[in-house]
Amino acid sequence: MIAEYLVLTASVATFTLIWRAILLDHKDFAKKIESLPIVGGALYCGFCASLWFTFFAVCMYNPVTVFTSPVMSFATGWLTVGAGVLFLRNAIAVLMEANGVLTDMHRTKHKD
């Protein structure tokens, strides 16, 4: 059960990071996504998109099936996987940004 949780969390977090990179690299596509009615804002926002992608992943496969009630099992699965996805996504995004800052600092020192 733990391995299934970690694999699902890593998979969704990776997908959300790819989604983030696509939106950052393709400004026209990002504007089209943001302008979509009803779902545009949710798909453009990193936090919201991560939770909605987690919702669809848990709909397909729920690693937390220890409860007897299907509603409780789904809600618990969505919340626990969502927390893991947000933590992992934000941790990796911070590391990526820090890498960019450190690379810039390193290149700036070599110019002087």
d(CA 47, CA 111) in angstroms, rounded, equals: 38
Q: What is the number of other CB atoms lying within 10 angstroms of the CB of residue 49?
A: 21
Burial 89-107 (b: 16+ CB within 10 A, else e): beebbeeeeeeeeeeeeee
Query: What confidence tens digit (pLDDT) does each residue in 8-41 have?
Result: 999 999 999 999 999 999 999 999 999 999 999 9
The average pLDDT across 91-112 equals 90
Residue 112: pLDDT band (50, 70, 90) is low
Distances (CA, A) of 89 to 34, 36, 62: 21, 24, 19
Q: What is the pTM of this model?
A: 0.82
